[in-house]
Structure 1
Amino acid sequence: MGTDGVLCFHCSKYFKTGKPAQAKSIDPAFVSTGFKNWKKALEKCSMHERSEGHNIAVTTAAYENRPATTQLSSGVSTQQAENRASLLKIIGGEMFLARQGLAFRRHEHHQGNLDQLLKYKAEDDQSFTRWLSAKRGVHTSWDCQNERINLMSSSIIRTIADEIQSLPVLQYSRIMDGTRDISGVEQEALCLRYVDTDLLVHEDFIGLYETTSTTGENLARIILDVLLRLNLPISGLRGQAYDGASNMSGMYSGAQAVIQRAQPLAPYIHCGAHCVNLITQQACSASSVVRNALDWIHELGTFFGQSGKLKDKFKAIVAAEGEGPALSIRPLCPTRWTVRSPAIRAVLSQYGMVLNALDEMAASNSGSASRAEGLRVRLQQGNVVLGLLLALDVISELEVLNASLQKNTQTVEGMLSAVSLVQESLKSQRNTEHFEAVFKEAGDMCDNLSLETIVPPRTHRPPERYSDQLWIFTE
């Protein structure tokens, strides 16, 4: 039915049947007859807008336009908000553990770091506690965790790639090395090195990539594939660093040669720390005195690690005779020669107490008595002390160089300067005077500990000529 007045859309629709109780109190002018009192239009319209009936009509209309799921349950939106907040708490816990490099799970799921962290977060949050009880295992299973970790990893890698792409001059270098996981699967670790607009050097780990073949061509294919996935043009590659393995550094078929054919501006650089490690190994292995001394110290550290009884005897002797706490006797690192000086110093500073512990162990009826006796006899020889002192001189110098070369802020010029300083230092020690000083220190130590006299090697060279045989440094 038409009217020549003004009607309220919501009220006319809601109250036109007259059934709601509020229909009696509503002004019929806005419902059916039409409002025409224009002199009082502002006043009457404002009063109608503030009326209870109008508010009921507007609220009802809004409710009828809501989705069916929301109409069926007024708590759906609240539940969705709680679910979202709870899921964000789980993701936050996973980000924290991943950032700190902590394991998520243990043999029993409820004893894992993630589960315990979520329980701690739920202590003051009743909605999160209810949600964990109702959804236990749904969003914290191992496959869900791995999926979210992969998403985090992809996001971080993409951020790094975007930062490199945003550089005014797109230039970067790449570092690659092979490793094996605990199951024996061969993987290649890849890092990117670049300088940002503030001239700060970045060395960022990109990931581990499984490989079925370690040929130079296959390794180069992996590198090119990773750069393609990161949308980093090979035209911006300005350097590639590997160790000295032939499949990496080969002149014709190594990975560096394949990459350099695609990008001639990316020269191959042998890892500086790896070079220092090879030099240290060569220098210490060139002399039988140094080599044998290091082997016996390694055997001693292994024995200490396997025998709790020997370790207890040693600690008791240090507590009674020493001036401070006992330094751990550990085996030498089999591959990283430039980190051996702490283990050598621990033995030299506690040499007499180590011998006393071995002597007590040899006098016992344990199954390790014969092994302790053999080590005690070897360590009684003065050549072991001399070999350790000579090795310490070389390793301590190269250890400092190795630490300097591994700084992510190190430059090529700085590396060359550090190498030159160490070369000069070692060359200054390749003389009779320095060897005599070391030889005298070893002799004094042997006299104080009542060790056997230092015996010249089979070459029967006089002590003043040992320096030519012991001090070897590969330039």
Structure 2
Amino acid sequence: MIQLLADFNPEIASVVLESAPKFCKYTSPKIQKEILSIFAMKVRKHIREEIGNAKFSILVDETCDVAKREQMALVFRFVDKYGVLQERFFDLIHVKNTKALTLKEELCSVLSKYSFDIQNLRGQGYDGASNMRGELNGLQALFLRECPYAYYVHCYAHRLQLALVAAAKDVVPVTQFFQHLVFIVNTVDSSSKRHDELHDAQMVELARLLAIDELETGQGANQIHSLKRPGETRWGSHFGSVSSLMDMFNPVSSVLQNLAADSTAGANRADGDTSFKYLTSFEFVFVLCMMREIFEITEQLGQALQKKSQDIVNALRLVQSTKVLLEQMRSDDGWETFICKVVEFCVGHGIAIPDMEGTYILRGGRARRQPDHFTNERYFRVEIFRATINTQLAELNLKFNEKVMDLLSISVTLIPKNGFVSFQANEICKLVEKYYPAYFNRQEMIGLERQLNHFVLDASSSADMTNIATLVELCRVLVETGRHRIFNLVDRLVRLLVTLPVSTAAAERAFSILKITKTRLRNKMEDEYLANNLLVHIESEIVRHYTYDDIITDFKNQKNRRADL
């Protein structure tokens, strides 16, 4: 491996293979781990200096590694001296259990070790587990006792996932649809032979569509895909699964027909026949099209919530726009547009369409209570379509109800692009005094109201401010233009709002790296060196600032200190 690296890097060839003594190549596992610990030490030092005395929030999430050991990822969210919002992965901590008190002790140990003042903590971002969000003995409650301004924000991405899951569980036809979807995907994709058949069927389908000019040719277009399996813990994966099935409906149908007609398939023949009946039923296609429409609306919100630069005020606006789009879909016009799409899809794929004015017949003697007589149109429109959207809206209202954070809703008036239509400086100051009474003294509260009025006039007439659409952009532009010195109290308020966490996506990204660094082959790595490897992956751009000679010098200093001990 060293020789291979040397072939592509002359510096390694000269320093490691040619100049270094044969007994001093720094290739033993123990020495490599020490070098990695130096990298980790420098990276953490850099992050600590970057945060300085600024207010910060912590993002925490837990997962089990390949050794079934509980690992807790710690990420800091803060605004740097340039006014740019940062989310920095800092450490991966092994915890013996997930009790709130244990987690707090481990986090406080890390904060104390690197001289973080817990009084600068202004936000906590966790998932909705009881040990994290408990109002009496949860992790957020334990921190609030020491720092009353460390407001807890339940991860918005988790809230969205919980809302979608609840909708699926509460509407029986939707729950059955996903059960059938998993069965179809398993039937088609569980065998390499059927996987190849699906590939060939897609080739035939693409050739047919190109022949009738329903597809456009181009570089990278019309590629062969595979069915995506929905995941239990990531509801966003269901959107990919639904979309892939709709895009490959004819090829999947062809594979299932061939399987059902294959006399040599044995027990799989019955699975093929059952899957084909599920796939070609109008109710399955109806829910398939409906869930894709809903997922297309909520997916935009899900992706936006996972961005590093997202601020909580803009997140609330995205949630509101998602609710509005679902309301529009639920309306009479939305229903007419949707049912036309379903009929068009059924006609294009040869699916039998029931008479909507005919009486709906309960199939299979369903256990749930239904009215004695109702039409097919009522069943699909009321019992499935509206019931699903109503559940979605109810869950979104429940999960995204920020009653405590009144300051967030009124602070959106500070965004210049909104035109300061409903701006009221005295109302903002009242809420600031309510939520941060010790952070602004009486004199500063008076000054804040004056600065807010001057800021609105300045931003309304400045070309470089009028197009700012988020608090994150506003915070950055204030520093870039030097206005943070003039409007220092406004800058302080905006930084507080931006620092509040939105989601724990940054902590979960660390778990993606964890799968790479700690595999079964490297399961014997010690926990501290696992964290070091993780830091090298995530913060490699910082590590490049340190030369090879710096690392060797630090390593020798550590060696001398050990000798003294």
Is the TM value for this pair above 0.5? Answer: yes
2:65 counterpart (172, 181, 185): 181
Q: Which amino acid aligns with 1:235?
A: Q
1:184 Cα deviation after fit: 0.8
Q: Specify the alignment match of 2:326 in structure 1.
A: 426
1:297 Cα deviation after fit: 2.3
* Post-superposition CA distance 1:417-452 (Å, at most 9, x none): 111111111112223442343234323333433335
Q: Which amino acid aligns with 1:238?
A: R
* Post-superposition CA distance 1:82-105 (Å, at most 9, x none): xxxxxxxxxxxxxxxxxxxxxxxx
TM-score norm. by structure 2 comes to: 0.59
1:349 Cα deviation after fit: 2.0
Q: Specify the alignment match of 1:465 in structure 2.
A: 382
* Post-superposition CA distance 1:342-397 (Å, at most 9, x none): 32122112212210012123333246433333222221211111111111122121
CA distance in 2, matches of 1:349, 1:334: 22
1:196 Cα deviation after fit: 0.9
Answer yes or no: is 1:343 the counterpart of 2:260: no
CA distance in 2, matches of 1:456, 1:132: 83
Q: Specify the alignment match of 2:272 in structure 1.
A: 372
The secondary structure found in structure 2 opposite 1:337 is: coil
2:50 counterpart (159, 163, 173): 163
1:295 Cα deviation after fit: 2.6
Answer yes or no: is 1:334 the counterpart of 2:244: no
How many residues matched? 359
Alignment of 1:226-241 (within 5 A): 226-241=110-125
Higher radius of gyration, 1 or 2: 1
1:305 Cα deviation after fit: 3.9
CA distance in 2, matches of 1:152, 1:456: 68
CA distance in 2, matches of 1:334, 1:315: 26
Alignment of 1:7-46 (within 5 A): none
CA distance in 2, matches of 1:304, 1:464: 31
CA distance in 2, matches of 1:123, 1:218: 46
CA distance in 1, matches of 2:333, 2:190: 41
The secondary structure found in structure 2 opposite 1:129 is: helix
Does structure 1 retain, via aligned residues, the 8 Å contact 2:201–2:255? Answer: yes
CA distance in 2, matches of 1:304, 1:133: 59
CA distance in 1, matches of 2:39, 2:361: 62
Answer yes or no: is 1:288 the counterpart of 2:202: no
The secondary structure found in structure 1 opposite 2:228 is: coil
Distance 1:451 1:120, change over 3 A: same
Distance 1:125 1:278, change over 3 A: closer
Distance 1:124 1:341, change over 3 A: closer
1:118 Cα deviation after fit: 3.7
Query: What's the RMSD between the two structures over aligned residues?
Result: 2.5
Q: Specify the alignment match of 2:342 in structure 1.
A: 442
Q: Specify the alignment match of 2:534 in structure 1.
A: none
Q: Which amino acid aligns with 2:45?
A: R
1:359 counterpart (250, 257, 265): 257
Answer yes or no: is 1:279 the counterpart of 2:163: yes
Q: Specify the alignment match of 1:266 in structure 2.
A: 150
Answer yes or no: is 1:385 the counterpart of 2:385: no
Q: Which amino acid aligns with 2:67?
A: S
1:132 Cα deviation after fit: 7.3
Q: Which amino acid aligns with 2:83?
A: L
1:456 Cα deviation after fit: 7.0
| More deviation, 114-123/226-235 | 114-123
CA distance in 2, matches of 1:124, 1:160: 28
Alignment of 1:143-154 (within 5 A): 143-154=30-41
* Post-superposition CA distance 1:192-215 (Å, at most 9, x none): 000012110000011111111211
1:284 Cα deviation after fit: 2.9
Does structure 1 retain, via aligned residues, the 8 Å contact 2:228–2:240? Answer: no
CA distance in 2, matches of 1:239, 1:231: 18
Q: Which amino acid aligns with 1:257?
A: A
Does structure 1 retain, via aligned residues, the 8 Å contact 2:346–2:353? Answer: yes
Distance 1:187 1:115, change over 3 A: farther
CA distance in 1, matches of 2:295, 2:134: 29
1:159 Cα deviation after fit: 1.0
2:28 counterpart (141, 148, 151): 141
1:124 Cα deviation after fit: 9.3
The secondary structure found in structure 2 opposite 1:340 is: helix
Alignment gaps of 5+ in structure 2: 210-221, 355-359, 398-565
* Post-superposition CA distance 1:272-312 (Å, at most 9, x none): 11111111112233322222222322333344442111111
Does structure 2 retain, via aligned residues, the 8 Å contact 1:341–1:392? Answer: yes
Distance 1:140 1:429, change over 3 A: same
Distance 1:117 1:303, change over 3 A: farther
1:402 Cα deviation after fit: 1.3
Q: Specify the alignment match of 2:96 in structure 1.
A: 212
1:320 counterpart (183, 194, 204): 204
Distance 1:215 1:127, change over 3 A: closer
CA distance in 1, matches of 2:12, 2:307: 44
TM-score norm. by structure 1 comes to: 0.70
CA distance in 2, matches of 1:424, 1:259: 36
Q: Specify the alignment match of 1:405 in structure 2.
A: 305
CA distance in 2, matches of 1:180, 1:334: 16
Q: Could you list the runs of 4 or more consecutive aligned residues of structure 1 that deviate by over 6 angstroms after TM superposition? A: none
Distance 1:124 1:146, change over 3 A: closer
* Post-superposition CA distance 1:315-360 (Å, at most 9, x none): 1111122243322211012212124323212211221221001212
The secondary structure found in structure 1 opposite 2:303 is: helix
Does structure 1 retain, via aligned residues, the 8 Å contact 2:188–2:252? Answer: no
Q: Specify the alignment match of 1:48 in structure 2.
A: none
CA distance in 2, matches of 1:306, 1:135: 52
CA distance in 2, matches of 1:440, 1:350: 20
Q: Which amino acid aligns with 2:137?
A: S
1:121 counterpart (1, 4, 9): 9
Q: Specify the alignment match of 1:396 in structure 2.
A: 296
CA distance in 2, matches of 1:456, 1:206: 59
CA distance in 1, matches of 2:3, 2:131: 44
The secondary structure found in structure 2 opposite 1:134 is: coil
CA distance in 2, matches of 1:403, 1:389: 21
Distance 1:219 1:456, change over 3 A: farther
Identity percentage of aligned residues = 23
* Post-superposition CA distance 1:233-252 (Å, at most 9, x none): 00100000100000000010
Q: Specify the alignment match of 1:29 in structure 2.
A: none
The secondary structure found in structure 1 opposite 2:236 is: helix
* Post-superposition CA distance 1:20-61 (Å, at most 9, x none): xxxxxxxxxxxxxxxxxxxxxxxxxxxxxxxxxxxxxxxxxx
CA distance in 1, matches of 2:174, 2:260: 26
* Post-superposition CA distance 1:174-194 (Å, at most 9, x none): 010111111110111110000
